[in-house]
Structure 1
């Protein structure tokens, strides 16, 4: 029965064109409009959309994403090739920049108009479409109230649950594009870059930073203000080797994990190992590394795969929004920060120290 359900899920997924990214101008009249700058190494297809093929050069775009007015916090509803703006996330506008210089100029204008010089660069994971990348950045920016300017890197994932090997190759292919995007963002007035990656996107980020640091030792620490890896689909030994090639690590380096991550459980079994970095069972395995590990297992939901708890759990998002310590200190990698919530929550900080937050401390 379990395999029948899995087969049915794949069949249903194939009924929709997940690679479709229609632009719906009427969506500007619905919900909240969010500006997302985009760098992509996806090739334009015959429909004039950024599909699954790999482009030889990085393209620069600016999108206006319409966030529907009635939705549960943490959720992203995608209408695929037939979106309904009153219900779904929709690309309402999409403009292409002529080159990296004009992109940097547009980005600089947005940064100067903002109260914050933070630029959050989001790198999506496995099984994502072009629109998924823009939607998730818009959702995170809105739900988590992320200040500053927002950029998404849309690398050529197949957007299919059966496309894991294609995506793994694409993540390797996409390293140069991400390196070019990070350099371009940095050139836009020297902003504070907060680099956020999910799942396989974490592996892409680490490979790219390794590549940049080999070419220019110390590049990552000089140019990246903070790194946040959410459910990273990275082997622990590989992660160690990547970290070892960085001359120095950005002071604020956070890894968010969940031991109930079903997707990473499958990824681990495919590799014949106990776990990946994103569902590591014992954070002491990486306690010697200059990172902050945040265990969000207790925010897991039985109804989901728990592969994006940090951005999809309404309870955790509400915590992030109301806790100044977590929002400005803990998630920026300040060791020893305390999260005050109701019930038991396991927080692992630098050095591997683990401490529960007692129920009596709730709402303080």
Structure 2
């Protein structure tokens, strides 16, 4: 008995050490200096894209000190009066507006949060804004901003695991400033535990509370003007949440067999999603989503492949960003029991390839700005520029200067420069 137990302990310790050593060697092999900024004007180091400043109506103020962005948000957390923030874990939706200040002196892609050592963060919420807005007022405010925008684009961001309300709000503001983005930004803040040890509970929540996000997407699309383009950007575990919500919208049909008029006239047959017919486009009918962007998805490849077909039915285009040096997903695959036999879909070693209406863009490094190789979606200057070209210029991957085709035999694969 003791011998068997002893052997088990030795085996566990040995495999753990080998795993840690392997990670260490891989980390050193993929380390690189901070990525260069591919924008014009001499590779600017200042915040935003110095060669091209955003004119979004979501910018409340821009001066020599920096820029203040208005962020529309929907959160599943309850508000804590003592902490002055959304910190609770309830599932009820709350709507509001807030403002984020981003100083001009920071480097493009940088974002930090207050700590005991550094109480002055790079990005911070400076006004709690209109908290507790009625949904009608919330959507009306977004529509007013869209009407005033040069580009009729709305970008809704879904954060990942271990992210709190403040981080989610500041991240989408920083990305909008640094792309730069010309439209209206919305943060959907699902009820993450915002705790490193909350991984499994976060995973449960992504499979339980996602219908709320589907409802927000359906309502937003139904109220937006026809020419407005709706984009979804999800990160890490937020991709599970997003996939579940989009798949629900793509397959949902209320009371099959009843005439559509019954759904609108009889409250008993009221559908779960307003404007649900738009999520079943036929023939030349426009799809409800312009772009769905999956960044570093913490998702099993089989799950992704099963769901992506439904997403393609409702989105004009899909872009997947993945990194073979994503060490957060390296740990995740062992936590999720994949071990040596598989990789998360956000790890380019999973073997996922692009195809019709879906592009896969690969990264291959970590840096001091992204030490885990997992937050590049918001910190890599090249990727931020690539997002602008994708969303605003509508440029196909073949002509975007931010990516390059691989060498033989990987000439059909695309890599971020």
Bigger Rg over Cα: 2
The CA deviation at 1:53 is 1.0
* Bigger Cα displacement from structure 2, 108-117 vs 214-223: 214-223
Give unmatched runs, 5+ long, in structure 2.
Answer: 1-16, 22-62, 254-276, 282-286
* Bigger Cα displacement from structure 2, 158-167 vs 287-296: 287-296
**What does the per-residue CA deviation read over 1:67-112, in whole Å, with 9 as the maximum and x for residues that have no partner?**
1232222111211699856744234232125322111111111111
> 1:171·1:204 contact (CA, 8 Å) conserved in 2?
yes
Alignment counterpart, residue 225 of structure 2, candidates 160, 165, 189: 189
The residue correspondences of 1:220-299 to structure 2 (distance < 5 A) are 222-246=287-311, 248-273=313-338, 274-281=342-349, 283=351, 285-287=352-354, 290-298=357-365
RMSD of the TM alignment (CA)? 3.3
> 2:114·2:121 contact (CA, 8 Å) conserved in 1?
no
Which residue of 1 is the match for residue 399 of structure 2? 337
Q: Which structure is higher in RCO with an 8 Å CA cutoff and minimum separation 6?
A: 2
- How far apart, CA to CA, are the structure 1 residues paired with 2:389 and 2:85? 40
Which residue of 1 is the match for residue 80 of structure 2? 45
Give unmatched runs, 5+ long, in structure 1.
Answer: 4-27
> 1:64·1:92 contact (CA, 8 Å) conserved in 2?
yes
What is the DSSP-based 3-state SS (H/G/I as helix, E as strand, rest coil) of the residue aligned with 1:72?
Answer: coil
The residue correspondences of 1:36-115 to structure 2 (distance < 5 A) are 36-47=71-82, 48-55=84-91, 57-79=92-114, 87-115=122-150
> 1:329·1:337 contact (CA, 8 Å) conserved in 2?
no
Which residue of 2 is the match for residue 308 of structure 1? 375
TM-score (structure 1 length as normaliser): 0.78
In structure 2, do the counterparts of structure 1 residues 148 and 101 end up closer, same or farther at CA, with 3 Å as the change threshold? same
Runs of 4+ residues over 6 Å off in structure 1: none
- Does structure 1 residue 127 correspond to structure 2 residue 162? yes
- How far apart, CA to CA, are the structure 1 residues paired with 2:248 and 2:414? 36
- How far apart, CA to CA, are the structure 2 residues paired with 1:183 and 1:135? 25
The CA deviation at 1:220 is 7.3
TM-score (structure 2 length as normaliser): 0.68
Alignment counterpart, residue 198 of structure 1, candidates 220, 232, 235: 235
- How far apart, CA to CA, are the structure 2 residues paired with 1:129 and 1:325? 28
Which residue of 2 is the match for residue 7 of structure 1? none
- How far apart, CA to CA, are the structure 2 residues paired with 1:86 and 1:305? 20
Which residue of 2 is the match for residue 219 of structure 1? 279
What is the DSSP-based 3-state SS (H/G/I as helix, E as strand, rest coil) of the residue aligned with 1:71?
Answer: coil
Which residue of 2 is the match for residue 16 of structure 1? none
- How far apart, CA to CA, are the structure 1 residues paired with 2:78 and 2:175? 26
The CA deviation at 1:229 is 0.6
